[in-house]
């Protein structure tokens, strides 16, 4: 069974440019998460989807960040415009939801903003 | 305030020695508890989890963890460390929301294994 797939793995952009990250969760997983991981820190939740509905986006900086999960499967996280402080790893995870608990993570997308 | 604390930022251990990583949480009720491992450039992989029942849980790669309600702790242990155990370890809690879908992670403990 395929795991959580993310792309691109690495992205280098100049500040003020836009960037997008894509995530394909494990088949059948209704819950999808985007986490931000700064160097030397634990993941911090940006947004959580239950199917196509964003049920927790309280930590998403909505002035520059946006996300969507069309048809309740793949998801895209966008930053526009990027700032220097956005340099980090963006992790996507999925789970069965409904109290099953375990998160399955992708390998992450490392963003460097110059 | 609700929190997950990993007191040790960095631990160095000799290969073959035992390892214990500490995790404490502060929540009103007992959450679900997890330990994840992250190798460089990789995503997080689940080592083990505790939902209820036996307070000593076994995981993959020879790891185990013990839940102690009185201490609000969920410490991870391995009797004999291998060089491949060098990685970053994260404790996480699943919070009691409508769907138990919200997770909070500790800051992580970096484990270095010396020959």
A43/B43 Cβ within 8 A: no
Between A110 and A100, residue with greater pLDDT:
A110
Q: Average per-residue pLDDT in chain B?
A: 91
CB contact under 8 A, A44 and B105: yes
**pLDDT computed for residue B97 by the predictor:** 64
Mean pLDDT of B64-87: 96
Phi, psi of A22 (to 5 degrees): -120, 145
Contact residues on chain A for B49, CB-CB shorter than 8 A: 101-102
> Which of A41, A45, A93 has its CB closest to that of B107?
A41
Give the range among A27-41, A69-83, A96-110, B5-19 with minimum mean pLDDT: A96-110
How do the residues of chain A divide into helix, strand and coil, expressed in percent and rounded to 5?
5, 50, 45
* Nearest chain B CA: its distance from A21 CA (Å): 15
Interface of A with B in 8-37 (CB under 8 A): 31, 33
Asked whether residue B48 carries a pLDDT value surpassing 70, the answer given is yes
Instruction: Check CB contact of A101 with chain B, cutoff 8 Å.
Output: yes
pLDDT score, position A99: 54
Residues 6+ apart with CB under 8 A from A78: A18, A19, A20, A21, A65, A66, A67
Query: Model confidence at B42, in pLDDT bands (50, 70, 90)?
Result: confident
Q: Determine whether the interchain pair A40/B107 forms a contact, defined as Cβ–Cβ distance below 8 Å.
A: yes
Radius of gyration of chain A (CA): 13
Whether B106 contacts B4, CB under 8 Å: yes
Instruction: Give yes or no for A95 touching B (CB within 8 A).
Output: yes
Task: Report how far residue B69's alpha carbon sits from residue B77's, in angstroms, rounded to the nearest whole number.
Answer: 17
* A18-37 per-position pLDDT tens digit: 999 999 999 999 899 999 99
- How far apart are the CA of A107 and the nearest CA of chain B, in angstroms? 4
A50/B28: higher pLDDT: A50
Cross-chain residue pair A101–B49, CB shorter than 8 Å: yes
Question: Quick check: B101 and A95 CB within 8 A?
Answer: yes
pLDDT in tens, A37-85: 998 899 999 999 989 999 889 889 999 999 999 888 999 999 999 999 9
Per DSSP, B20 falls in state E
Quote the pLDDT of residue A2. Answer: 81
What's the confidence (pLDDT) of residue A70?
84
The nearest CA of chain B is from the CA of A99 a distance in Å of: 5
Closest CA to A50 of A25, A72, A81, A78: A72
């Amino acid at each position: 069974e395929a795991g959580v797939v993310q792309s691109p793995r690495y992205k280098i952009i100049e500040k003020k440019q836009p960037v997008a990250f894509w995530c394909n969760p494990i088949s059948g997983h209704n819950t999808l998460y985007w986490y931000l991981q700064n160097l030397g820190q634990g993941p911090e939740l940006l947004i959580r989807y239950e199917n196509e509905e964003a049920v927790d986006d309280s930590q998403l900086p909505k002035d520059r960040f946006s996300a969507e999960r069309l048809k309740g499967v793949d998801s895209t996280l966008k930053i526009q415009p990027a700032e220097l402080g956005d340099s980090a790893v963006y992790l996507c995870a999925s789970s069965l939801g409904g109290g099953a608990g375990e998160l399955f993570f992708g390998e992450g997308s490392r963003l460097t903003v110059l | 305030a609700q929190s997950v604390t990993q007191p040790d930022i960095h631990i160095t251990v000799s290969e073959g020695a035992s390892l214990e990583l500490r995790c404490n949480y502060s929540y009103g009720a007992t959450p679900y508890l997890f330990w994840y491992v992250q190798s460089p450039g990789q995503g997080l992989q689940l080592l083990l989890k505790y939902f209820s029942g036996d307070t000593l849980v076994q995981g993959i790669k020879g790891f185990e963890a013990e839940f102690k309600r009185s201490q609000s702790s969920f410490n991870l242990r391995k009797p004999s460390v291998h060089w491949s155990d060098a990685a970053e370890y994260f404790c996480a809690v699943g919070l009691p929301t409508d769907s138990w879908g919200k997770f909070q992670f500790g800051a992580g403990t970096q484990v270095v294994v010396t020959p």
